Amino acid sequence: MRFVVTAGPTREYLDAVRFLSNPSTGKMGFAVAAAAAGRGHETVLIAGPVNLPTPKGVKRIDVVSARDMLKAVHASLTGDSVLVATAAVADFRPKVCSKRKLHKAEIARQIELVPNPDILKTANARFKVGFAAETDAVEASAAAKCRAKGLRLIVANDVTRPGAGFAADTNIASFVSPDGTTEKLPLMTKRRLAAKLVERIESWS
């Protein structure tokens, strides 16, 4: 199979040095890419700004913003690819971005935001798998995203739980199907979760 994996955060710049972002480190997505490549699949990894080495056998494309990530995903996808979107994409960006660093007095107290494109929703792939970082109504919110984005599966993680979500080497996840069917998984390393996910995707072909 051919895997395209997104990982890490995006940065949405307000000026030359200030941006909106989130705490994603890319660990989850890099683990998925490593698992896919390790099982012999051609794998493209599209990474936001993170500080991780490229897994063996993976083609990596570095991006900064959601719009960069969208372009890289669309350019990398073929109709027979599997898209696994672990990236924590900023839903909004500042409407205006200054090329130079704004002086403190020049920065508006209210920043106008505009929506970013939804990369996963608009992508055309053989199978689409999403991740959902939730803090409440975890499985129900994930199932709603799964249906709204036309996914085969979504991996829900409650990022309020110790050992789960952003930056940890472990995760506590559930595999959630569009009809809400949920398989709750115990705490495990992101590497183990990634291997389980790749095995699940292989079972669809």
Which residues are annotated as catalytic? 22
- In this structure, what DSSP letter does residue 105 have? G
Q: How far is the CB of 151 from ligand PMT (least distance, A)?
A: 8
Residue 11 or 27 having the CB closest to ligand PMT: 27
* Residues 6 or more apart whose Cβ sits within 8 Å of residue 37: 3, 43, 55, 56, 57, 58
- Written as one letter, the residue type at 168 is A
Pairing mode, strands 153-158 and 173-176: antiparallel
Q: Of the ranges 38-46, 74-82, 87-95, 103-111, which one interacts with ligand PMT (CB under 6 A)?
A: 87-95
Rounded to a whole number of angstroms, the minimum distance from the CB of residue 49 to ligand PMT is 11
Q: Does 55 bind ligand PMT (CB under 6 A)?
A: no
Note whether 131 binds ligand PMT by CB under 6 A.
yes
Q: Give the dihedral of Cα atoms 199, 191, 154, 93; nearest 10 deg.
A: -140
Chain contacts with ligand PMT (rule: CB under 6 A): 6, 8, 24-28, 66, 85-89, 91, 116, 118-120, 130-133, 145, 157, 159, 165-167
